[in-house]
Each structure stands twice: as structure tokens, then as C-alpha cells.
A and B are shown apart, each in its own frame.
Chain A
Amino acid sequence: MSDLEQFRQETRSWLEENCPASMRTPSKGFDDLYNGGRNPEIDHPDQKIWCDRMAARGWTVPHWPKEYGGGGLDKDELKILRQEMAAITARSPLDSFGISMLGPALLQFGTEEQKLEHLPKIARGEIRWCQGYSEPNAGSDLASLATKAEDKGDHYLINGQKIWTSYADKADWIFCLVRTDNSGSKHEGISFVLFDMASPGVTTRPIKLISGSSPFCETFFDNVKAYKTNLIGEEGKGWAIAKYLLTHEREMISGFGAAPKKSVGQMALETMGSDASGRLANGVLRQTIAQYQLDTLVFGATMARVGDEAKAGQGLGAASSIFKYYGTELNKRRNELNLAALGEQALGWDGDEYRGGVISRDWLRSKGNSIEGGTSEVQLNIIAKRVLGLPDA
């Protein structure tokens, strides 16, 4: 038996023994994912058990090095683990901004001490992170951010306001962009710091979304201490780290563009029926769905191709911008098609007959996909400038 085959067998039997039955059912949606943290939101007691078991093997972050709490798996082993988990429809044990955003940035830019301090806690789901980038006057123009950090020797004193900070009220720590210097261009003088959200002077105020939930907050800093041991990279050189992290955020968000388990075409057939030739009864909707499913297939092929090219050391410039733009627009199209195909069912907001309005709420939430992590227009600007080399206005 080859090493990989052996790895597959072992993985399969370990998962079989350790994945609780309740964790082999699909999660109900965004809010049902397990995010860890000091006071984790637990919808089902098995969530923590499942996360802890996986973390003990390093499999909450299977591709990270072992010394930082990862599984140290190579690409082939990672693929096998994903396949075996998919085979039993095992849930992801832990989803967090620490894994998808901060982790990659720390691995790239952190000191050894910083990595050892923060990465294992992310891997074990002990600390939940939030992202302090946007401010009221710094959205798309993120580099114009003004939250001030004053040098106080071994620490900075932070004053200012962030906004749209997802899960700020639930997170334990924040990775935050602050201004340490005002004298140069707006891209200079930005620093990337980490601090505890329980620090004195931090307050959060939840903001309600059109989908009814309140996942994000206004976040205020009033003389908050951030220790210099938690400055990532050099002081004033945080912009490069911020951008690197954004490419990972965009990749994560573009995953929303993946094909749904049950195709929209099948769903529409069930609600609307077909004509004598087997075609969906409404030809206009049929064409829109076909175009959407075609683009979803082609998008999947592109994710696969760029993945293979990356392995072969070739790369598509600004790939994360293309994915972010296309994947989120696809997800918005899918949600609109859910409404079109399901009709009245999809418009329900509350009540058991509408499963609590999950379809309409997901639809409304999807509108944010092309805003968060940099808007679609900003992604198109990036492609135009960095890939096509078109000049500024």
C-alpha cells in the first residue's frame, strides 16, 4: 500500500470513530458555523467536541506547520482529508477569521514569537478574531484611514473608530490598521497591530443588517493600549500586510460562488414543471438559470486551473480580485434565481412555513458579498490597473 493510500485508510477510520453523527449533517447556514473563542456560541454541544478532536490532530488548519498547531499535511494529504470529510458530509470543525485571514498574514509576516503566541490559539479555536480595517471615512479608499496610534514606549495608545467590524461584539482580539505617522503619502504610516478586545477603552455597538441579523458593529477605541510585541511587521509598513491579508479574505469570499448541492435548474423544475420536451416550463427563466449554471461550471474550472497553475509555480496576476468579483456576483445571481424559482416561498421572512425566512435572509445577506472585502468596482479597478496596466484617471 502506498503512503497516501495508508493515509487515506487511517484518516477514514479516524473520522469514522471521531466525527459525531450530528456533525455529519450540513450546517443550516452562516450562523450555524462554529467560530470558537473564549465564549463560543454553541448551537449544539457536539460542535466543541468535534472542534477539539480535530484540533488535537492539527486538522482545524491541516495545511499549517505542526509547530503552530497545524497538521503539517502536504497538498496530496490535504486533498485526501477533504475528500474523506466530504464523503461522510462532515462539517468544517472551525471557521474563523483567524484561520482564513490573520493566520496566512502571520505565517508570512509574523516573528517566530508572534507565530508561536497566536497561531496555536487560532488552531485550537481558543481566540476568536475580528478585522478592524474600515472606518466611516475609509471604505473603498481604505488607505485614508485615520485611527490614531501614539507611541508610548512599549505600547501604542489607540484612539479612533472602526465600522462594519464583523463580530466585533463576539471577538476576543482584533487585527487592526492604525495610523502611526501622518507625514507621508496615505499608504505610508499605516501599522498592523493586534490587541485584546477586552482591553479598557474598547466599545462595540452592533448594527442591524437588512437581513435582520446584526453581525457587524461600530467599534470605538478610547485610549486603548496595544503592546508593541503585537506590532506585525515594521511600524508604518502595514499596508503591504493589509493587502496580503485582503487577497486571502477575497479568496475565502469567492468560495461563495461554488455550485450549490441541488442545482437551481432542478429546484425550478420541482416548483414550475416542464413542457412536453422536458424543458423547464418558463423559457425565460430557463435561459437565465442555464447561463448561471454555465458560469458556475466555468468558474469552478477556473478555480481548479489557477490552483493547478499555482502548484506548477505559474500564477494569474490579481487572481484573487477576479475570483472575488466573479464569485460574489455569481452568488448574488444564484440568490436572485432562488427567489424567481421558488416564488412566494422565498419571500417568507418569519415562521416555520418559511423555515424562519432563511431564503430571503440569505438573499439579502448575499448583497453584501460584492461590498465586503472590497467592492466589485474596486476589484475591477485592481484588474484594470494591475493586470491590464491601464493608467489612473
Chain B
Amino acid sequence: MALVLNEEQAMLKEAAAGFLAEKASIKQLRELRDSGSEQGFSSDVWGEMAQMGWAGIAIAEEFGGLGYGYTGLGLVLEQAGRNLSASPLQSTVLVAATLIAELGSQEQKQKLLPAIAAGELLATLALQEGGHHAPLQTAASAVRDGDGFVINGGKLMVLDATSAATFIVIARSGGTAGDEQGLSAFLVDAGADGLKVEQRSLVDSRNVGALILDNVRVSSANLLGAEGQAWPGLSRTLDIANIGLAAELLGLSAEAFERTVAYLKERKQFGRVIGSFQGLQHRAAELFAELELGRSIVLQALHAVDDGQADLALMASAAKAKLCEVAQRASNEAIQMHGGIGMTDEYDIGFFIKRARVAQHTFGDYNYHLDRFAQLNGF
């Protein structure tokens, strides 16, 4: 596939840019934060997004989606990154729907995917347990009990935890920490007995939470995929999730950068605009080159998903590692080049660095993915 947008994709990008700037911008994020919204996003805006088909953008048409593929979803996520738009696009559309499509039976897909595509069902993955993304270290346990399983454990970094109706909980039904074998995925209702959902407050003011699973009983019908065999589908889903987050980080970095360049042309010191100082010009030019490189790897990685490329894992870690690096630099430089005003809550630029670090951390940061990239390259 050529590394350019086709007409349909270019139109989608335009539409997303326009809609999100109007309905889900930093202004709305600030209002949500200041009003103490537990949900962290607006249900009305999410309803409109679903009506435009975005909730099913990468879901196959046979399951009620648009079938635009992940390149389409990536374009919307990039615009969401630009506007810092809060919505269940990441939790439900990028991650949960993908995992269901990867692991689910025909019946499960028929039941869940159309509901997600219609914007009626919010679902989310419950994976991380410690301070870092370490999927193979999963220790939450699932023990067979009659016709079902009993799950015990704790989960962190569960996106949109307090809004989700369905959790996909990763637990170990066999093997030991570090093993690929033995990981299972379970559909757990938000109202299940023994499940406690705690709201957590992170720097980006989004909806995220922790789960405590205390003897949560689920039937075998709630198993997503075969028992103990969740890893290949989960791993693929995590690759896709990281590519989607890389797209979001690309939009976020590009916007923070453009706002910073605009400021360089406007702010005067020593009798001239600060953008005329070469010390700042070269840093801005280097960052621009990095952003262009970041844009290329995101697009190539999105195509790798849609084309079913065999090197998806490598492309995912490359895209995530690179965009973590770019976002870190862009968000840090944004504050530095704004001077004192960049440190104020009243000014919007500080919102970028907050979302950047959470998105960077989610499903593995720079250190995780650069290490994995080296391993996948054989060293």
C-alpha cells in the first residue's frame, strides 16, 4: 500500500479534525476536569461520534462496523491527540473491540461487536497489575470451578473503568509468571459479585481505574478464546493498541509543536521575536524532522496492521518507541520555549505533557518498547 492517504481517508481526517476541534477540544477537557466529572468524557459527544460510525470504524462490516481498517481509526486517533479529546475511542474501539475480534467465538463477536459499533456497549481491557506494563508477568488467577472459573487478583490502568459495562480481564489459568501459556481472557460484567471498581485520578484527568477481583465467578461461556491460549491474540491486540497510541501521540506532538512555533513568532524579547534566535530555531527544526519521521512510522505501522504484515510486533514497538521519544521531546520543548506562561494551568500547553506521559506509559513506554525492538532484532 502506498504511504499516502486515499480520498476516503483524507475526507475522514478532515471530518475528524473539524468535529473534534468543535466538540471535544482542550476547552471541553478543562471543563470536564474542573467539574470533577467521574466519567472523564461527554456522553453526548461520544453519542455523536458513534453516530458518525467511529465506534465501529475498524470493526468489520459483517459485525456492524464501517470496515475502514486501522488506518482509518489511526487517523481519528491522531486528531483526537491534536485536540486532547477524551472519549472511549482507546478503551473500547482500539483495544476491547480488537481483542474481541481476535479471540472471540463467532457468537461472542455477533453479540458484542455490533453493540460496540453502535456506541451502546463500553468495554475495556484489565491487564496491568504492577507499576509497569508487563503482560507476561500476569499473576491474577483463574481457577476452574465446576462449569466456570473463579478469578482473583488486582488490576491497574484500566481505561474508562468506571464507565465500562464489560471488562476483559486477563488472568492466569495455568503456567507461571513469565509464561505465554496459561493466560486466559474473561468477559466480566461490571456488576459481577466480588468485583470492586475504584476510580483513580491520573495527571491527564481521564477516566482510569483499578479493579479488585475477589472470588469473582464467571461461567465458561465468558471465556474469550480458548483456555490458557489468550497470548497470541492478546499480543497482537497490544501491538495494534500501541500503534493506535502512537497515532494519538503523533497528533498530540504535532499540535504542541505547532502551537510552540506560533508562539516563537509572536513573543518578543531583546527587541525581536524569540523565533529569530538560532538557538531556538535549530531545536525547532530538529523537532520538525523528528515529527516527520514519526509520521512515517505511524503510517507504515497502521498499514502493517491492515495488510496483515508478519512483522507487526516489530513495527508496533518501533512506532511506539519512536513516538514516545518524539512526544517527550515535543511536550518538554513546548513548555521550555513558552517560558513562565508554559507553567501556568490557565494556559493550555501544559495539558499536552500530561496526556503525553499517560499515553506513553499505557501498554509500555519507550524503555519497554526499545528493549523489545532490540530483542525482535535478535540482540
Show the binding face of A for B, using Cβ within 8 Å. 263, 265-266, 268-269, 274, 278-280, 286-287, 289-291, 293-295, 297-299, 301-302, 304-305, 308-309, 311-312, 314, 316, 322, 325-326, 377, 379-381, 383-385, 387-393
Contact of A309 (CB < 8 Å), options: B4, B284, B371: B4
Question: What's the least CB distance linking A318 to chain B, in Å?
Answer: 9
Which of B264, B295, B378 is A269 in contact with, Cβ under 8 Å? B378
25 contacts between A and B (CB under 8 A): A263-B377, A263-B379, A265-B379, A278-B375, A278-B378, A289-B374, A290-B377, A297-B318, A298-B296, A301-B297, A302-B293, A305-B4, A305-B299, A312-B2, A312-B4, A380-B282, A381-B281, A381-B282, A384-B278, A387-B285, A389-B265, A390-B275, A391-B272, A393-B276, A393-B277
Please state if B374 and A383 are interface contacts (CB–CB under 8 Å).
Answer: no
- What are the residues of chain B within 8 A of A295 when measuring CB–CB? 293, 322
Interface centre among B4, B273, B275, B276 (most CB of A within 10 A): B4
Name the residue on A nearest B377 (C-beta). Answer: A265
Cα distance A291–B373 in the bound complex, in angstroms = 9
> Which residue of the partner chain A has the closest CB to B369?
A294
Within 8 Å CB of A390, what residues of B?
261, 264-265, 275-276, 281, 284
B83 at interface by CB-CB < 8 Å: no
User: In the bound complex, how far is the Cα of B276 from the Cα of A97, in angstroms?
Assistant: 36
B8 CB to nearest chain A CB (Å): 14
Report how far A274 CA is from B378 CA in the complex, Å.
10
Give Cα A393 to B276, complex, Å. 5
Whether B2 pairs with A311 at a CB distance below 8 angstroms is yes
Count B-side interface residues using an 8 Å CB cutoff. Answer: 38
Query: Which chain B residue has the least Cβ–Cβ distance from A389?
Result: B265
Among A266, A312, A385, A393, point to the contact of B379 (Cβ < 8 A): A266
List the A side residues contacting B294 at CB < 8 Å. Answer: 298
Q: Would A387 and B288 count as touching, CB distance under 8 A?
A: yes
B178 to chain A minimum Cβ distance, whole angstroms, is 11
Can you list, as one digit per residue, whether each of B27-49 has a CB less than 8 Å from chain A (1) or not (0)?
A: 00000000000000000000000
Complex contacts, B264 vs chain A, CB 8 Å? 390
In the bound complex, do residue B288 and residue A388 qualify as a contact, i.e. CB atoms below 8 Å apart? yes
Chain B contact surface mostly: helix
Q: Does B286 contact A (CB under 8 A)?
A: yes
Is residue B193 contacting chain A, with contact meaning CB distance below 8 A? Answer: no
Using known A-B contacts A381-B281, A383-B285, A383-B288, determine if residue A392 contacts B276 with beta carbons closer than 8 Å: yes
Residues of A within 8 A of B318 (CB): 294, 297-298
Whether A291 contacts B379 by the Cβ 8 Å rule is no
Q: Compute how far the CA of A366 lies from the CA of B152 in the bound complex, rounded to whole angstroms.
A: 58
4 new A-B contacts at CB < 8 Å, known A389-B261, A393-B272: A266-B379, A305-B3, A379-B285, A392-B276
Q: Are A304 and B370 in contact (CB under 8 A)?
A: no
Which partner residue on chain B sits nearest A274 by CB separation? B379
B207: interface (CB < 8 Å): no
Pick from A263, A308, A322: contact of B3, CB under 8 Å: A308
CA distance A377 to B281 in the complex (A): 10
CB under 8 Å from chain A, chain B span 262-293: 264-265, 272-273, 275-278, 281-282, 284-286, 288-289, 292-293
Asked if B300 is at the interface of the complex by the 8 Å CB criterion, the answer is yes
- Evaluate contact between B273 and A305: CB separation under 8 angstroms: no
By beta carbon, the residue of chain B nearest A384 is: B281
| Chain A residues near B295 (CB-CB < 8 A) | 302, 305
Q: Within the assembled complex, what's the spacing in Å between the Cα atoms of A269 and B272?
A: 53
Chain B residues with a Cβ under 8 A of chain A? 2-4, 261, 264-265, 272-273, 275-278, 281-282, 284-286, 288-289, 292-297, 299-300, 318, 321-322, 370-371, 373-375, 377-379
Determine if A291 and B370 form an interchain contact, defined as CB atoms under 8 angstroms apart.
Answer: yes
A308 touches B4 (CB 8 A): yes
Nearest chain-B residue to A277 (Cβ)?
B375
Determine how close the nearest CB of chain B comes to the CB of A385; give it in whole angstroms.
8
A332 to B: closest C-beta gap in Å: 15
Q: Which 10 A/B pairs are nearest by Cβ-Cβ distance?
A: A265-B379, A384-B281, A383-B285, A301-B296, A305-B3, A290-B374, A302-B296, A380-B285, A390-B275, A308-B2
Alpha-carbon gap, A326 to B292, bound state (A): 11
Residues of B with C-beta under 8 A to A309: 3-4
Q: Does A388 lie within 8 Å of B261, measured CB to CB?
A: yes
B374 cross-chain contacts in A, Cβ below 8 A: 265, 279-280, 286-287, 289-290, 293
Instruction: Name the CB-closest residue of B to A307.
Output: B3
Assembly CA distance A312 to B7 (angstroms): 12
Nearest CB of chain A from residue B284's CB, rounded to whole Å:
6
A326 nearest in chain B by CB position: B289
- Which residues on the B side are within 8 Å of A265 (C-beta)? 374, 377-379
Find chain B residues with CB under 8 A from A302 CB.
Answer: 292-293, 295-296
Bound state CA distance, A314 and B318, in angstroms? 26
Residues on B with C-beta less than 8 A from A287 are 370, 374
Are A304 and B322 in contact (CB-based, < 8 A)?
no
On whether the beta carbons of A384 and B377 are closer than 8 Å, the reply is no
Q: Pick the contact of A325: B273, B289, B370 (CB < 8 A).
A: B289
Contact residues in A for B278 (Cβ distance below 8 Å): 381, 384, 393
Residue numbers in A under 8 Å from B281 (CB-CB): 380-381, 384-385, 388, 390
- In angstroms, Cα B273 to Cα A160, docked, is 40
**Docked CA distance A112–B98 (Å):** 59
B25 to chain A, nearest CB (A): 24
Closest A residue by C-beta to B299: A305
* Cβ contacts under 8 Å, B265 to chain A: 389-391
- Checking B275, B276, B296, B379 against A304 with a beta-carbon cut-off of 8 angstroms, the contacting residue is B296
Whole-angstrom CA separation of A326 from B322 in the bound complex: 15
**In whole angstroms, what is the CA distance A263 to B373 when docked?**
13
Which of B3, B273, B294, B378 has the largest number of chain A CB atoms within 10 A? B3
CB distance A279 to B293 under 8 Å?
A: no
Residues of A within 8 A of B3 (CB): 301, 304-305, 308-309
Task: Indicate whether A289 sits within 8 Å of B379 (C-beta atoms), given known contacts A388-B261, A390-B265.
Answer: yes
State A309–B2 Cα separation when bound (angstroms).
8
Chain A residue contacts of B375, Cβ below 8 A: 278-279
Residue of A nearest to B281 (CB): A384
> Which chain A residues lie closer than 8 Å to B370 at the CB level?
287, 290-291, 294
Report B-chain residues with C-beta under 8 Å of the C-beta of A293. Answer: 373-374, 377
Given the complex of chains A and B, what is the CA–CA distance between A236 and B33 in angstroms? 62
Give the shortest distance, in Å, between B192 (CB) and chain A (any CB): 38
Residue of A nearest to B301 (CB): A301
